[in-house]
Amino acid sequence: MAGLYDDLAEIIVRNVGGRDNIISITHCITRLRFELKDESKANTDVLKSTYGIVTVIKSGSQYQIVIGKDVISVYDAVCKASDMKGKLKNITEANITEVKSSADATEKLFSNALEKAVIETLVAPCDGVVKDITEAEDEVFSSEILGTGIVIVPDDGKIYAPCDGIITSFFSTGHAIGIHSIEGSEILIHIGADTVKLDGKGFEKKKSQGEKVSKGEILLEFDIEMLENEGYSISTPMIITNSDEYTDVIIEKFGKVNKGEEILILI
């Protein structure tokens, strides 16, 4: 097992720009958190495509590599590969030697582990712009009382299913939808803020409560222009209301996204 983590660690160290590019590294429950001298030296595409790595996230000054439940073992192996001294809170004094590529072997060893780490992937319910949930206009969502997730500002007035599942609730006003995915997540999509006050005006439901839906099926249409003209925000929270049942909820991408593009990873 040690060799398995060693192979992955060598790939990680090389593709974050080598030992000399690492200022520090810590870890949380699912992620390696690097501080790098120059993030442009990191080969993010290679890391994202490496088995054993769920995804890569850039957050402020941190370069985060999401591993999942094996993060501590991988962290220890990265410390070893880069000759780091100490644990958890450490500054690297790396002295890594050249190692031959073991990508093929690592892919075989980690393929099953990665499949187990990722419980579910959800896709964007519309074309639009993804923002952090803390930017939601309703404090109920921005405070994450109901769970974590994202805000998406739709480009048009069409909302599609982010997963296969069943519609567990669909407000008569059409402004909010609850979905139970076949993988177990509980998803709430809420169009705008205070839009319940419209009493259904501008909303057209395309599905009904209790219906099964497939990922990408249209759920509803709404009149963006009418909502905005009447002073309503169209920023749309998509919340995982049972997010406390997951080790981590990862936002795959901020900014412009297309309908059906992978947007949330649950592990």
180 is catalytic: no
Burial 73-86 (b: 16+ CB within 10 A, else e): bbbbbbbbbbebee
For the chain, counts of helices (H) and of strands (E):
6, 19
- Burial of residue 231 (CB within 10 Å: 0-12, 13-18, 19+) is exposed
The yes-or-no answer on residue 190 being catalytic is: yes
Cβ(264)–Cβ(253) under 8 Å?
no
Q: Bridge partners of 153?
A: 129
> What one-letter code names the amino acid at 66?
V
Q: Which residues contact 58 (CB under 8 A, 6 or more apart)?
A: 39, 64
Which region, left, alpha or beta, applies to residue 99 given φ > 0 means left and ψ of -120 to 50 means alpha?
Answer: beta
Using alpha carbons, select from 189, 151, 148, 147 the residue that is nearest to residue 168.
189
Q: Which one is catalytic: 27, 28, 79, 175?
A: 28
Distance CA 97, CA 261 (A): 39
Q: From the candidates 126, 163, 175, 190, which is the catalytic residue?
A: 190
Q: How far apart are CA 267 and CA 264, in angstroms?
A: 10
| Residues in Cβ contact with 12 at an 8 Å cutoff, skipping those fewer than 6 apart | 32, 47, 50, 53, 65, 74, 78, 81
Q: How far is CA 140 from the centre of its chain?
A: 21
Catalytic residues: 28, 190
